[in-house]
């Protein structure tokens, strides 16, 4: 996928069709293209229309009789500049933290039917807290979110860690948070998406999920150039507001060396109509890897891979959160938003 194509998928706004973001992402991996493919935003060069890449020259071997007069690595005596990815293994999550954006690169979780059925924690006893394992000057702070207009959006939801109060408490660390649009996303479509992930344990004995932010470029309407632009909240501004979020899902069949159903989704950090099919946001896992600079399944052989949405129906059960708040003793009846493909 070319840099231009990646920019095009990021430039599609939620207002004109957030699902198109995922659709264009996926298109490069699901079909062969003609020498030039014309989209509404212009002509995209394809590998067939580009000159072959020029191999990078190999470094010249150092002559054995040459003693360098300088030592660049000597700067390490004063400290290693980085980057440092703060790896945070907890009992309910494992994450890597990006000190520059004050957001996680990724947060991983593992859920099973048994872990979700356990009910040994109460969300009312959990509180958002700063993660003191991250140096103070690089840490996201509670004050950064104060009156920011954004929710402290869980990457691993608290509802996935009800098996222990300690486990649930750890999901409230700010290293598990990103600024998310509240109404229409974090409190709505994103919450329904999290519920979809939990319901996968009805079909698979083991489900692993990696969630994280993306900062994708979009095309400037004035000069037509592509730029990465995102808001930063806090005083002073510290925490980046992601443009998109991804989830990579590994649904395991429970057998040693067995099949793994893979699902990859990219959603804009914006209000999304609950009627939008979840499959509108399905993308190839390679697209997320290219956009994030991360790798998720490099050790999973192709013969063990299945496509999640070809194995089960990828659809949401939408609940009316306002009604649920009015009646805490019960829950609103669900509505299924069906996808055009897949089967239960």
Which positions are annotated as active-site residues? 154
166, 214 contact by CB (below 8 A): no
Look up residue 57 and give its DSSP letter. P
For every residue of 210-268, DSSP letters joined together read EEEEE---EE-TTT--EE----EETTTT-EE--SEEEEEEEEE-SSTT--EEEEEEEEE
37, 270 contact by CB (below 8 A): no
Q: Which of 120, 110, 196 is nearest to 156 (CA)?
A: 110
* Encoded tokens for 250: 């590994």
Q: Please identify which residue in the block is written with the tokens 């496509």.
A: 307
Burial class (CB in 10 A: 0-12, 13-18, 19+), 108: buried
Beta-carbon contacts of 340 under 8 Å, excluding residues fewer than 6 positions away, are 277, 279
* Encoded tokens for 198: 């939990």
Rounded Cα–Cα distance for residues 98 and 105 (Å): 6
Rounded Cα–Cα distance for residues 174 and 153 (Å): 9
Strand-pair partners of 298: none
For every residue of 78-95, DSSP letters joined together read G-------EEEE-SS-EE
């Amino acid at each position: 996928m070319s840099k231009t194509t990646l920019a095009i998928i990021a430039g599609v706004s939620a207002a004109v069709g957030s699902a198109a973001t995922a659709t264009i992402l996926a298109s490069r991996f699901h079909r062969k293209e003609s020498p030039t493919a014309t989209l509404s935003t212009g002509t995209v060069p394809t590998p067939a229309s580009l000159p072959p890449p020029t191999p990078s020259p190999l470094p010249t071997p150092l002559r054995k009789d040459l003693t360098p007069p300088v030592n660049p690595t000597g700067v390490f005596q004063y400290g290693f500049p980085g980057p440092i990815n703060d790896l945070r293994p907890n009992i309910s999550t494992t994450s890597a933290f990006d000190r520059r954006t004050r957001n996680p690169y990724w947060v991983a979780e593992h859920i099973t039917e048994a872990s979700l059925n356990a009910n040994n924690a109460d969300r009312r006893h959990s509180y958002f807290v700063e993660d003191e394992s991250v140096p103070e000057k690089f840490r996201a702070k509670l004050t950064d979110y104060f009156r920011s207009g954004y929710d402290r959006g869980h990457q691993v939801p608290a509802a996935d860690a009800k098996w222990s109060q300690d486990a649930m408490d750890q999901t409230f660390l700010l290293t598990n948070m990103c600024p998310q649009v509240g109404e229409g996303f974090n409190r709505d479509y994103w919450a329904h998406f999290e519920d979809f992930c939990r319901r996968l344990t009805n079909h698979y004995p083991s489900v692993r999920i990696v969630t994280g932010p993306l900062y994708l470029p979009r095309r400037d309407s004035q000069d037509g150039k592509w730029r990465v632009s995102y808001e930063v909240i806090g005083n002073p501004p510290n925490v980046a507001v992601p443009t998109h979020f991804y989830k990579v899902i590994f649904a395991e069949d429970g057998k040693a060396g067995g099949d793994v159903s893979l699902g990859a989704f990219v959603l804009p950090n914006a209000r999304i109509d609950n009627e939008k099919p979840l499959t509108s946001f399905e993308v190839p896992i390679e697209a997320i890897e290219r956009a994030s600079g991360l790798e998720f399944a490099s050790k999973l052989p192709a013969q063990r891979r299945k496509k999640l949405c070809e194995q089960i129906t990828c659809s949401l059960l939408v609940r009316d959160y306002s009604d649920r708040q009015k009646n805490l003793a019960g829950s609103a009846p669900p509505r299924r938003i069906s996808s055009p493909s897949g089967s239960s």
